[in-house]
A and B are shown apart, each in its own frame.
Chain A
Amino acid sequence: MIPDGEKTLERQGPEMLYEIPSDWDANIVAFACHYCAFAAADLAGVMRLSYAPNVKIVRLPCTGKLDHIYVLRAFERGIDGVFVAG
């Protein structure tokens, strides 16, 4: 059992790096424009290009539709990466 004080100190250290477990996958959400980036993701499939499966695409009518709150909400809820493409 670690005392609360110590725990807080440890977690505050900016250089504190945790070892990444070997089975860990980054959770990534992508915001893609319907007309270009989303179409590009489709083309990747048509061409059977392979990439890591840990990215989920949210389709937007245009990347200009992207709101700060989408990005903030994603990070707030622990997303590891946000990819905006358009």
Chain B
Amino acid sequence: MTKISPGQEKKDRVGAVLVVGAGIGGMQAALDLAGSGLLVHLLNDEPSIGGTMSRLDKTFPTGDCAMCMISPRMVESSRHPNIKMHTLASVTKVSGEEGNFTVTILEKARYVDADRCTGCGACEGECPTKVSNFFNQGLDKRKAIYALFPQAVPNTRAIDAAHCLFLTKGVCRKCEKACDANAINFDDTDKEYELKVGSIILTPGAKTYDPGIRQELGYGRLKNVVTSLQFERLLSASGPCGGTVERPSDGSHPKRLAWIQCVGSRNAHNANPWCSSVCCMYAAKQSIIAKEHDPEVDATVFYMELRAFGKDFDKYIDKAKNSGVRYVRSMISEIVEDPQTKNLLIHSVDEEGRLIHEEYDMVILSIGFEPRENADGFARIFGIDTDSYGFAKTSKLEPVATSRPGVYVAGTYQGPKDIPETVIQGSGSAAKAMALLGESRGSEIEEVVLPDERDITGEEPKIGVIVCHCGVNIAGTVDVKRVAEAAATQPGVSHTETIIYACAPDGQQKIRDLIKEKGLNRVVVASCTPRTHAPLFQDTIREVGLNKFLFELADIREQCSWCHMADKEKATTKAIEIVNMNVAKTRLLDPVSSKSVGVTHDALVIGGGIAGMTASLSLAEQGYGVHLVEREGSLGGLLKNVRHNLEGDDVQAFLTETKARVEENEKITVHLGTTVDNTDGFVGNFETTLADGSKFTHGAILVASGGTEYVPTEYGYGQSGQVMTQRELESWLAANSPKASDRFVMIQCVGSREEPTNYCSRICCQDALKNSIAIKERMPDAQVTVLYRDLRAYGLKEDYYKKARDLGVLFFLYTPDRKPEVISEGEALRVRFDGKVLGREMEIEADYAVLSTGLRPQEDAQKLSQTYKLTRNSDGYFMEAHVKLRPVDFASEGLFLAGLAHAPKNLEETVSQALAAAGRAGTLLSHESLTVSGIIAKHNRDICMSCLACFRICPFGSPFIDEDGRVSHNEVKCAGCGLCAGICPAKAFQVNCFRDDQILAMIDSVTTLAEHQDQGSENT
């Protein structure tokens, strides 16, 4: 990592950050910070990291399994040399100040030695005490010694001291006897210690509403009423019923499912007044997945308002509707159980006002978020302010900064939000800490010094095969001795050995000794999965000078002994085959050298709106140079037209100040009135030419090219001064005072949420609320009517919806098939619409019709997408690398995304995303050089025919057409997926460690051509 020195005053700051809470937001912040050379203490109060997302079954819109997405992040967090994990830990005291905090940590006794525990779970089988399983939302039981979930990280058990028989009553100790690894330590005690950090990031998450409070819905009393989080566990393949949804009363598969929305949300009386932001979408997801599980499922969602406000959310709701999910707009006041069948009766009112009684097999309550328990106490420890509800208080203009300098916040602790917004804030808060501690990068971390690699050129393969017992986990089922003996007969194998625990410190020392004593030049360990353990053994062999790619891990535990316990003979045969396959591959392994390339520590930021300016300032504060390119003659973008946000902040003052800071910053070069003409190069080493001829090099590209406001053609806009947009009304209100006699009618979703622009523009509901509140506060007698489809006042913005209603703003629903009509009659307007409540057409007179118009992608987005090979969604917004976990990255390395270029969003969200993109870019720019991963495709130009198959299929743009007109391969961009190798007709691409000859050797190892022919003739 690099140290860039703008000033001396930052020198004394501690180059370490405490991240409190290891859910997806905390892990994102930790990985970004660790990647930039800061030491991270990642704290979690549970025995495993993972947070709320680890409890989810799948995520929309892709239907990917949440665990499959989060699990690699958890493993990465646990293995990162710059991240120190503290589980079962909490903070008790914070002293000091920004740059230099002293934090007191209380780490509870785990009673299991994490260094010794192999995660086998033998102890769990013996433990006699059953406890309600908190992770599975109380749907089943776990033992007193437990792993939070099967994929827990760290992969080690913990003893629940409150329920352990020995720790409570002094008897039992069965787990101790069951543990061959001697990992149980009943003498363990709670530990208190201090850490020095320069900054603190709070990502503790939120808790969910307890619907038992609302007795009329029967939760806790009626067995088949479950919460949405319980339903996630019921859907989950690793949940209490293995992924086949069973209803709690009788274990049958429920066919008639109902979701009740807004349970615990949007209700100031006996629940929480805010909107929880995520429930509309997870209900859609759950209903779609429930139908995928069982096509006979009838799904009904009872909702108040469909708040599908995010990117491509409406499309997903449409998918739910098209797959047969029934949406009923009705508030449910009661659930009644049939005592015989335990089925559930719901009474609802249909749109004609009739009372409908329907029976369901199971009802899911869509519960919302609320601040963590003891939110006040938590905030007091860190000395930060909360809002009146207990969420961390932040300014809408600085969404990740708490009231205490140096303490930042991300995720649901700052207010309800979904996964991508949490990840965005995780990276955004990391960017803030990186700016604060940029000078101290690298000061707290240790560099590992390794011996030179041994040159094995010309040596015959001398493979060492180490077969691990894993206590009884492997050896109890597989005859490990026979496996080792069989391996010894394989060509190239010069030594075999069995070890009780290969991964334990003594096991690893044994491997190091064997390599030296026997002169081994390749190693196969037969034990557990390479996904988690290969890096450990690779490091081990590297420590004694073997290239780390001269290693294979044969998985004979997860993929053999654990699955074939019933047939030990066949399990042993399979283990022999698995080991021999890997030996066959290992024989052909070659050392892989990881090349590295330098990094230019400057960034190109495209777009001088608030996203581009915020990102530029953050990058400059982190210590990097910035070229900010704006096509217009001045900075500011769309924000130039906005005066206030919904929360009342003075946006123009903020914009003026931001512009001044950008213009004054020596590290930022502003290029006005020009655009990007061409960019060459690759991650870390780009060279860009602008249309005005200027040319510069840079290491990262941040696309913040913005969007445009829709100019309506509907409702007579442009023909009468009485028909205006919300933005024009805002300006009008700045110059004029509404009169008591003024009548305003606002029409929502103008040019949004219908073909050809069938998406929600997200900001228009907020604009309507903002302007209607402004009118009513200044002139209470003025009449304001809002005609809406779904009032999307998500999250804490619900407060303003309520405020507008309290001020007397009238809200009427309309549906897109019966849109309002605006009729101009001389001085006045008449607005006609279908009154849904009265069931008859209504007409109101108005002086002003205000159109809530949405946003459109920037017109030159098409050109940018061609220049940088970036994909856009069907609406023309740029596509991020991954909807959930990489919301500000592009799939191509070195390119990042923020603001309206990504999707419609408000100022607060834009600032968060801009900080996040700057954080991601900063992590990249902090490196002196980038090491190319070893597992990449190698291109052989001599046999390449330049057919361009690779060029077309590569998602990362690494094959390119070189100056001589033929294909070359940029290994820096390569992710090693091997799509090129699969498609190349000339076999000019070969992936390191997955070469065709290596894979074929594995296939050959489990097949025998000669034997097959013999059998063939015998059969005749």
CA distance A61 to B1012 in the complex (A): 30
Q: Say if the beta carbon of A39 comes within 8 Å of chain B.
A: yes
CB-CB under 8 A from A54, the residues of chain B are 570, 574
CB-CB under 8 A from B577, the residues of chain A are 56
| In contact, B1008 and A77 (Cβ under 8 angstroms) | yes
Q: Is the interface of A mostly helix, strand, loop or mixed?
A: mixed
| In contact, A53 and B564 (Cβ under 8 angstroms) | yes
| In contact, A56 and B574 (Cβ under 8 angstroms) | yes
Greatest chain A CB density within 10 A among B68, B560, B976, B999 is at B999
Interface stretch, picked from B551-559, B614-622, B689-697, is B551-559
| In contact, A43 and B151 (Cβ under 8 angstroms) | yes
| In contact, B1020 and A11 (Cβ under 8 angstroms) | yes
Given A59-B530, A70-B999, verify A39-B559 contact (CB < 8 Å): no
CB distance from A24 to the nearest CB of B (A): 10
CB distance from A51 to the nearest CB of B (A): 6
Interfacial residues of chain B within 572-618, with CB under 8 A of chain A in the complex: 573-574, 577-578, 581
CA distance A73 to B1012 in the complex (A): 13
| In contact, A73 and B559 (Cβ under 8 angstroms) | no
CB-CB under 8 A from B154, the residues of chain A are none
In the complex, residue of chain B having the shortest beta-carbon distance to the beta carbon of A64: B979
| In contact, A77 and B979 (Cβ under 8 angstroms) | no
In the complex, residue of chain A having the shortest beta-carbon distance to the beta carbon of B1006: A56
CB-CB under 8 A from B1020, the residues of chain A are 2, 7, 10-11
Greatest chain B CB density within 10 A among A11, A46, A79 is at A46
CB-CB under 8 A from A77, the residues of chain B are 1003-1004, 1007-1009, 1012
In the complex, residue of chain B having the shortest beta-carbon distance to the beta carbon of A75: B1007
| In contact, A64 and B563 (Cβ under 8 angstroms) | no
CA distance A78 to B150 in the complex (A): 37
Interfacial residues of chain B within 437-495, with CB under 8 A of chain A in the complex: none
CB-CB under 8 A from B982, the residues of chain A are 64-67
Interfacial residues of chain A within 13-69, with CB under 8 A of chain B in the complex: 18, 25, 27, 29, 34-36, 38-51, 53-54, 56-62, 64-67, 69
Q: Say if the beta carbon of B681 comes within 8 Å of chain A.
A: no
Greatest chain A CB density within 10 A among B151, B570, B976, B977 is at B977
Q: Say if the beta carbon of B571 comes within 8 Å of chain A.
A: yes
CA distance A70 to B999 in the complex (A): 7
In the complex, residue of chain B having the shortest beta-carbon distance to the beta carbon of A59: B530
| In contact, B1009 and A78 (Cβ under 8 angstroms) | yes
| Total of A-B residue pairs, C-beta within 8 Å | 140
Greatest chain A CB density within 10 A among B237, B578, B935, B1002 is at B1002
CA distance A59 to B560 in the complex (A): 15
CB-CB under 8 A from B71, the residues of chain A are 39
Q: Say if the beta carbon of B562 comes within 8 Å of chain A.
A: yes
| In contact, A51 and B978 (Cβ under 8 angstroms) | no
CB-CB under 8 A from A61, the residues of chain B are 935, 976-978, 991, 994
Q: Say if the beta carbon of B132 comes within 8 Å of chain A.
A: no
Interfacial residues of chain B within 224-283, with CB under 8 A of chain A in the complex: 237-238, 242
CB-CB under 8 A from A51, the residues of chain B are 563-564
Give the residue of A11, A27, A56, A79 whose beta carbon is less than 8 angstroms from that of B578. Answer: A56
| In contact, B1003 and A34 (Cβ under 8 angstroms) | no
| In contact, B581 and A48 (Cβ under 8 angstroms) | no
| In contact, B531 and A46 (Cβ under 8 angstroms) | no
| In contact, B563 and A42 (Cβ under 8 angstroms) | no
CB distance from B47 to the nearest CB of A (A): 16
Q: Say if the beta carbon of B996 comes within 8 Å of chain A.
A: yes
In the complex, residue of chain B having the shortest beta-carbon distance to the beta carbon of A41: B559
Please count how many residues in chain B sit with their CB below 8 Å of the partner chain's CB atoms.
55
| In contact, B979 and A62 (Cβ under 8 angstroms) | yes
CB-CB under 8 A from A46, the residues of chain B are 150-151, 558, 562
CA distance A43 to B1004 in the complex (A): 27
CA distance A78 to B1008 in the complex (A): 7
In the complex, residue of chain B having the shortest beta-carbon distance to the beta carbon of A79: B1007
CB-CB under 8 A from B578, the residues of chain A are 56-57
CA distance A25 to B567 in the complex (A): 14
Given A7-B1020, A74-B1003, verify A49-B979 contact (CB < 8 Å): no
CB distance from B237 to the nearest CB of A (A): 8
CB distance from A82 to the nearest CB of B (A): 9
Chain B, 969-1012, contact with A by CB distance < 8 Å: what is the 0/1 string? 00000001111011100000001001010011011101111011
Given A53-B560, A53-B563, A53-B573, verify A29-B1003 contact (CB < 8 Å): yes
| In contact, A58 and B151 (Cβ under 8 angstroms) | no
In the complex, residue of chain A having the shortest beta-carbon distance to the beta carbon of B976: A61
| In contact, B567 and A42 (Cβ under 8 angstroms) | no
CB distance from A37 to the nearest CB of B (A): 10
CB distance from A56 to the nearest CB of B (A): 5
Interfacial residues of chain B within 509-539, with CB under 8 A of chain A in the complex: 529-531
| In contact, A27 and B1006 (Cβ under 8 angstroms) | yes
CA distance A49 to B558 in the complex (A): 10
CB-CB under 8 A from A35, the residues of chain B are 68, 72
| In contact, B68 and A36 (Cβ under 8 angstroms) | yes
CA distance A11 to B1018 in the complex (A): 12
CB distance from B62 to the nearest CB of A (A): 12
CA distance A2 to B242 in the complex (A): 55
CB-CB under 8 A from A78, the residues of chain B are 1007-1009, 1011-1012
Give the residue of A27, A64, A73 whose beta carbon is less than 8 angstroms from that of B978. Answer: A64
CB-CB under 8 A from B1006, the residues of chain A are 27, 29, 56, 79
Q: Say if the beta carbon of B345 comes within 8 Å of chain A.
A: no
In the complex, residue of chain A having the shortest beta-carbon distance to the beta carbon of B572: A53
Q: Say if the beta carbon of B53 comes within 8 Å of chain A.
A: no
In the complex, residue of chain B having the shortest beta-carbon distance to the beta carbon of A67: B982
CB distance from A67 to the nearest CB of B (A): 5
CB distance from B234 to the nearest CB of A (A): 16
CA distance A26 to B565 in the complex (A): 19
CA distance A86 to B976 in the complex (A): 16
Interfacial residues of chain B within 312-346, with CB under 8 A of chain A in the complex: none
| In contact, A45 and B563 (Cβ under 8 angstroms) | yes
CB-CB under 8 A from B983, the residues of chain A are 64
Given A42-B558, A56-B577, A58-B1002, verify A65-B1019 contact (CB < 8 Å): no
CA distance A62 to B1009 in the complex (A): 28
| In contact, A42 and B1008 (Cβ under 8 angstroms) | no
| In contact, B150 and A47 (Cβ under 8 angstroms) | yes
Give the residue of B562, B574, B1000, B1011 whose beta carbon is less than 8 angstroms from that of A45. Answer: B562
CB-CB under 8 A from A64, the residues of chain B are 953, 977-979, 982-983
CA distance A27 to B448 in the complex (A): 45
CB distance from A11 to the nearest CB of B (A): 6
| In contact, B996 and A60 (Cβ under 8 angstroms) | no
CB-CB under 8 A from B566, the residues of chain A are 50
CA distance A65 to B1019 in the complex (A): 37
Give the residue of A25, A34, A48, A70 whose beta carbon is less than 8 angstroms from that of B562. Answer: A48
CA distance A54 to B555 in the complex (A): 15
Give the residue of A39, A50, A73, A74 whose beta carbon is less than 8 angstroms from that of B564. Answer: A50
CB-CB under 8 A from A27, the residues of chain B are 1006-1007
CA distance A65 to B71 in the complex (A): 23
CB-CB under 8 A from B573, the residues of chain A are 53
In the complex, residue of chain A having the shortest beta-carbon distance to the beta carbon of B553: A59
| In contact, B563 and A49 (Cβ under 8 angstroms) | yes
CA distance A34 to B1011 in the complex (A): 31
| In contact, B571 and A53 (Cβ under 8 angstroms) | yes
CA distance A69 to B561 in the complex (A): 30
Given A18-B1019, A53-B571, verify A48-B563 contact (CB < 8 Å): yes
CB-CB under 8 A from B1004, the residues of chain A are 73, 77
In the complex, residue of chain B having the shortest beta-carbon distance to the beta carbon of A11: B1020
The 9 closest A-B pairs by CB, nearest first: A65-B978, A45-B558, A78-B1012, A77-B1007, A45-B562, A64-B979, A62-B977, A42-B558, A53-B564
List, sorted by A's number, 13 A–B pairs whose CB atoms are closer than 8 Å.
Answer: A42-B558, A43-B150, A45-B560, A47-B238, A47-B242, A50-B564, A53-B573, A56-B574, A67-B982, A74-B1003, A76-B1009, A77-B1003, A78-B1007
Known contacts A50-B565, A78-B1011; can you find 14 more A-B pairs with CB under 8 A?
Answer: A2-B1020, A38-B529, A41-B559, A44-B559, A45-B558, A45-B559, A46-B151, A46-B558, A49-B563, A53-B574, A57-B578, A64-B953, A65-B978, A77-B1004
